[in-house]
Amino acid sequence: MRTTTLGRSDVAISELAFGAAAIGNLFAAVTDEEALAAVDAAWDSGVRYFDTAPHYGLGLSERRLGAALADRPREQFTVSTKVGRLLRPKDAPVGSDLVDGFDVPDTHERVWDFSATGVRRGIEESLVRMGLDRIDIVYLHDPDHHEEQAFGSAYPELERLRAEGVVGAIGAGMNQTRMLDRFVRETDVDVVLLAGRYSLLDQSGLASLLPEAARRGVSVVVGGVFNSGLLADPKPAATFDYAPVPADVLERALRLKALCEGTGVPLRAAALQFPLGHPAVAGVLVGARSAVEARDAAAMAELDVPAQLWRTLRTEGLLPRDVPLPTAARTNAGS
């Protein structure tokens, strides 16, 4: 699988990344065996970049991912996790964490903390949960409502940790473009993780963030390529950005599906590969809760998508006329 080095760092990622939120019981429980099988299938498919966070299942995702990678040669894979939410034991758990999206017992609470001390403590705790000797990439996780502290305290601490060699690459992960654009312009991040804002249905990342990242040599990892499921299987019951899909968006998704299938290409493949057309995009992050889903993501990433399909989507007004198309970028990408 193609690989790319992030920004000016020495950290390399595979073009397809394994998103480990699902093995933290996102929306529904999976067993330890299913989680392990998902990671194994991704590995066997060539995936070497794995992303997690303490938020995912109150640490369950980190623990499961660390266990699944424990017997792999450490120099052969890249792991990212996130800081900004510390996990603290609850005195009186009352049920499950489904209110925050994860089917796990609510044994802990998340405490927002973008202080320098919180960042360092978060990394130390993640290392323990994963059983790793180092973390390759650390993202500030959803600092939307903590902008001043994120830029004034958390980010400078990440710079110090990178200089100390504790982490290899630093960045921020969000589902909005404005603050990520600020990180790219005002800091020395290696990478930003953009969720849901550069997809077949939402190209808002193209307005400023992606061109600026390309100009400054900052890498972008794109998550949410299916826009929370709609582009995986467009239907009235599907969700778009974690909410019921609006009628006009569903109609657009169904048009995309029909044009893709008319050339023999599953919509999933086009959705997954589309972001890779932009020169700033180093990889796409796709979640998987089973071996079947992990293998499917790898197959969709490697499927040959005819150049004519991309041109048709642009001609039909489903993509902007100036949007970079994947074919040329993938021909020259990585190693």
Q: How far is CA 81 from the centre of its chain?
A: 10
User: In whole angstroms, what is the distance from residue 56 CA to residue 101 CA?
Assistant: 9
- CA 41 to CA 36: how far, in whole Å? 9
Average pLDDT, stretch 14-43?
A: 98
Per-residue model confidence as pLDDT tens digits over 216-227? 999 999 999 999
Supply φ then ψ for residue 224, to 5 degrees: 60, 35
Give the pLDDT mean for 133-157: 98
pLDDT in tens, 163-186: 999 999 999 999 999 999 999 999
Show Cβ contacts of residue 33 under 8 Å, excluding neighbours closer than 6 positions.
none
Nearest to 292 by CA among 13, 76, 74, 22: 22
Quickly tell me which residue has 């710079």 as its tokens. 159
Which is nearest to 78 in space by CA: 219, 232, 229, 279?
219
Q: How far is CA 121 from CA 115, 132, 148, 150, in A?
A: 10, 15, 19, 15
pTM of structure: 0.96
Does the pLDDT value for residue 190 go beyond 80?
Answer: yes
On whether the CB atoms of residues 48 and 76 are closer than 8 A, the answer is yes
- Residue at 285: amino acid letter: L
Token pair 């980190």: residue: 62
Bridge-based pairing state of the strands 135-141 and 96-97: unpaired
Band of pLDDT at residue 331, cut at 50, 70 and 90: very low
| pLDDT (tens digit per residue) in 31-54 | 999 999 999 999 999 999 999 999
Q: Is 56 an annotated catalytic residue?
A: yes
Label residue 335 by pLDDT band (50, 70, 90).
very low
Does the pLDDT value for residue 228 go beyond 60? Answer: yes
Q: What DSSP string runs through 11-51?
A: -EEESEEEETTGGGTBSS---HHHHHHHHHHHHHTT--EEE
Given the residues 49, 56, 139, 198, the one annotated as active site: 56
- What CATH superfamily is the domain 3-331? NADP-dependent oxidoreductase domain (3.20.20.100)
